[in-house]
Amino acid sequence: MIFEDKKLERDTFRKLRDGISLNQRENVEKNVRLYIDSFVKGYKNIGFIAIYWPLKNEVDIRSLKKKFALALPRCKEKKRVGILSMGRKTSYQRF
């Protein structure tokens, strides 16, 4: 039952994502950047901003790396989760 529910949810959200236009995704990306800029304005050192790697037709906010250091979740051995960090001027580093 749970697996059937998960499949139904995945299919529903996949259809929703597929129905979003490129213009809409770009507008969301722009609004996320504006929100994060306003949120971090008062902080001197925010460290990393955690994001996700976008799936097909999801909003892609990886462009934030131009201004901020990013952290992505990554799978490690024994079902552990690690962090993949990407600085403004560096490639990905594993933690």
Q: Tell me, what's the pLDDT at 93?
A: 52
Q: Tell me, what's the pLDDT at 11?
A: 93
Q: Tell me, what's the pLDDT at 31?
A: 95
Residue 89: pLDDT band with limits 50, 70, 90: low
Domain spans, the chain: 2-94
**Residue pLDDT, tens place only, 11-25:** 999 999 999 999 999
Give the pLDDT mean for 14-43.
91
Give the pLDDT mean for 27-46.
89
In the CATH hierarchy, which fold is given to the domain comprising 2-94?
Answer: Rossmann fold (3.40.50)
Q: Tell me, what's the pLDDT at 44?
A: 75
- CA-angle at 67, arms to 69 and 17, nearest 5°: 85
Residue 75: pLDDT band with limits 50, 70, 90: confident
